[in-house]
Structure 1
Amino acid sequence: MSACRLVISQIDHTRHGKTSHFLSRKGLSLWLDLDQLERINRMSALFSVDKFNLLSFHQRDHGVNFKSKESLVKLSEYARARAIELCPGEDMKSVYLLTFPRIFGLVFNPVSVYVLCDKSGAERVHIYEVRNTFGDIHSYIGKVTSSRTIMVAEKRLHVSPFFANSGHYRLKIRVLGDRMRLLMRYMQDDKVALTATLRGEMCDLSNKTILSGLFSTGQWPLRPLLSIHVEAFKLWLKKVPFFSRPDPPGKWSPAKDIGKS
């Protein structure tokens, strides 16, 4: 597998219930092997790691480095440290990350997903790193017991002001060859309140795929952040109830898994 791949995707958000709402757009993401960042840094003249470029990936945007003034912690080490807490004594051979790239140095990542695999290549731990527009971050971490595992996590981080900070998530990511699938389902009172999906095709990182990916998706700096505020304004016009932001939680919380999809 290539050390870094671009994910050209279709991203859909569906709000269920009395006041339904739908958003669909194309997305441009990265699928990185966090143990090969030095190699990734040399894959394209238009892409850099921890430096400015047309497209770039910065470890400061994630994990324990987010908003930290301390020395940089390698994300591969951070993810393995979290995994050891769930799987003591297990060796995580590889750590992959799905996230949005910086474009001209700017990015907003609503969710990034770490996938940690053991020596046999089997997925063992998933970390769903969620951010909100208030500048808060929280990670939901759980074991993977089978290819059909869905993580179930109590909602801790206030994400949308149009949902109360209650309920739980059902989370699933799956990589099949060149295809990427991500499902995030938000449940309230055992009913689906919101469904977010990412369905993408992957290609190796290169000058050509970077340019074609930007052109085909229409991705530009901070588009996800602007899109969130535009959709929030539409929900406000629909008179959807507004919930104030509570105090943010700690950095991470454990999830549980269920062996069915």
Structure 2
Amino acid sequence: MTGAPALYRCAISHVRTAPVRHALRHRTYMWLIDLDHPPELNRVLRPLTRFDARDHFAGDQPSIRAGLDAFLAGHGVDLDGGPVVMLTHARVFGYVFNPLTLYWCHDRDGTPRCVVAEVHNTYGERHSYLLRPDETGRAYVDKEFYVSPFFPVDGRYRMRLPRPGDRLDLTVHLERGGGRPFTATVRGTRREVTTGALLGQALRHPWSTLAVSVAIRFHGVRLYLRRLPIQPRAEHKSPENAS
């Protein structure tokens, strides 16, 4: 039901419209995998792709699937072993930064049950949202997690998260005070996982997630120099935050 793993060549954009207008755009690649059957790569390619349980949820479970099931159990959801598809960045040469990881969760018979959106910030914290998208993949959730130092923890997210096919097309709006001061999009095209495809992406985007992390921090400095006020950050208490 979940199919073979896939690579997506992605363009990711962040557009801020208030209180100042600013845009960030970068290219990278992401993995779509069956959470119960992650790809098995040869020894040469393994440094380019690792999926570690410590990088997701509380980071204290023996597998990412176990971490997801523990999170869902805390919200009264039991998939009964049903399939899960995960969209994420892999560790590359031991480093990973995942601003957003998505899990499309299904019952044992393949019926869509929910989506989990796991958000990481640049402070080493993480938080997960349980979503109930409609037939078009749209869902709403109150913001509960400090991400950008220039936005307080208020408002809500309006997300469009259809399961990826030949195309990847995701949108996240932050809604505050009747407006949408921030929008993030992820657009991509599916590629079969082959040695050539993976090496090609690794050569085009070496240290891909490190580059994303650096770019976010660099643009944060630019916004600070434009005198955008910093919002205070409280210690995050979510159980998904790694110790």
Provide the TM-score with structure 2 as the length reference.
0.88
> Aligned residue for 1:193?
181
Q: List, as ranges, runs of 4+ consecutive aligned residues in structure 1 with deviation greater than 4 Å.
A: 84-90
Please tell me whether residue 156 in structure 1 is matched to residue 147 in structure 2.
no
* Root-mean-square deviation (Å): 2.2
Please tell me whether residue 175 in structure 1 is matched to residue 197 in structure 2.
no
> Aligned residue for 2:30?
29
Match of 1:64 among 55, 58, 63: 58
TM alignment of 1:2-151, pairs within 5 A: 2-37=3-38, 40-41=39-40, 43-48=41-46, 53-65=47-59, 68=60, 72-84=61-73, 88=77, 91=80, 93-144=82-133, 146-151=134-139
What letter is aligned with 2:128?
S
Report deviation, 1:73.
2.7
Report deviation, 1:121.
3.0
Report deviation, 1:148.
1.6
- Mapped contact 1:139–1:251 kept (Cα < 8 A): no
Using the TM superposition, name which of 90-99 and 210-219 deviates more.
Answer: 210-219
Report deviation, 1:198.
0.3
Residues 195, 172 of structure 1: CA spacing in aligned structure 2 closer, same or farther, 3 A cutoff?
A: same
What letter is aligned with 1:124?
R
> Aligned residue for 1:255?
none
What letter is aligned with 2:154?
S
**1 CA distance for matches of 2:79 and 2:52?**
28
What letter is aligned with 1:31?
L
Deviations 1:83-104 (A, max 9, x none): 4555656545211111111111
Q: Unaligned 5+ residue runs, structure 1? A: 253-261
**1 CA distance for matches of 2:11 and 2:155?**
26
TM alignment of 1:229-244, pairs within 5 A: 229-244=217-232
Report deviation, 1:181.
1.6
Deviations 1:160-193 (A, max 9, x none): 1111121111122113532112211111113101
What is the aligned residue count?
239
**2 CA distance for matches of 1:98 and 1:176?**
9
- Mapped contact 1:28–1:219 kept (Cα < 8 A): no
What letter is aligned with 1:250?
S
> Aligned residue for 1:220?
208
**2 CA distance for matches of 1:220 and 1:203?**
17
Q: Percent identity?
A: 27
- Mapped contact 2:89–2:209 kept (Cα < 8 A): no
Residues 17, 246 of structure 1: CA spacing in aligned structure 2 closer, same or farther, 3 A cutoff?
A: same
What letter is aligned with 1:134?
Y
Q: Which has the higher strand share?
A: 1
Provide the TM-score with structure 1 as the length reference.
0.83
Report deviation, 1:228.
0.9
**2 CA distance for matches of 1:225 and 1:175?**
25
